[in-house]
Structure 1
Amino acid sequence: MREKATAQSVAEAEEVEYGPLGPGHAPAKDPLKGVRGVMSGTMMMESICFYLILTVILRVDNGIHWTPVNWGYITVVATAMLILSFLQFTRWAIAADVIIQVFALIGIFVHPSVAIIAFIFIAVWAYLFYLRKNLIERMKRGLLTTQHM
């Protein structure tokens, strides 16, 4: 009896609860395209911030952190972010976004200011992923206005 109740509750959990207007149709314009644009802009801003970190490691502490390894690492990570900002339409972009955040966080070994910027952008990316997930769920439930026009 318990197995039957569990199977029934699993089936109810998998059932999609549609909005009051029903599932609707596919939106005329892809809403995820806008999300990808925001993600691209965010990655572009992050790359600019990382390029600006070069001036921080040059000027703070009389340039003690200005070594070829340190400025090379920051330059490579910032350039990878810049390139990735133009590739947000690819299937692997989200995985690459997460991986580049790990490399940004590793920058704490270059200078503590890198970790501060990395934590700020990790929070921004977590919020963007939450918004993306929420948009996909709303599309499945038919809650977007453009699905009923």
Structure 2
Amino acid sequence: MWRPGFPYVELQTARIHGYHRALCVWSWVYRGTQSKPGLVLGLDMGGSCIGRAFRVTAANKIDAVNYLYEREMVTAVYVPTFVPVRLKSQRQVTALTFVADRAHAQYAGKLRAEEAAEAVLQGCGRSGDNTDYIANTVQHLDELEIRDRLLHRVDAIVRSG
């Protein structure tokens, strides 16, 4: 959401239904290791989610998708899923998302804020400290005026501990 990693021509706030943002994936590569996993976001079943939709040119579509697959599917914890998305402009489009695979060993399920914060505080991986990931995510959600109670609570615990 805050680090697309590919060129895009348009960015809009968007909502999906049927999935919600959740700290539900143990990170074994980017924000932790198998012995000290961090915790990252995934889309999980149920509810709805406000986020960002990136439009790419037809010429960049394959490169963008390949980049996202390489980055997000490093341990196959996600299921690439095309979903209908309602843009802020009220237009509906189809978007590629990555939904947490509940059958995968890295699926953390629903954790209490204290449990999540404990994992975040220990996590450090290829992309850096898990605490930075949480802080950046909360900062960008705040900029979009999106309040995620659990994520904000985890961030508060992490900052105080």
* TM-score range for the pair, normalised by the shorter chain length: under 0.3
Larger Rg: 1
How high is the TM-score relative to the length of structure 1? 0.28
Which structure: greater strand fraction? 2
- For normalisation by structure 2, the TM-score amounts to 0.26
Relative to its length, the structure with more helix (as a share) is: 1
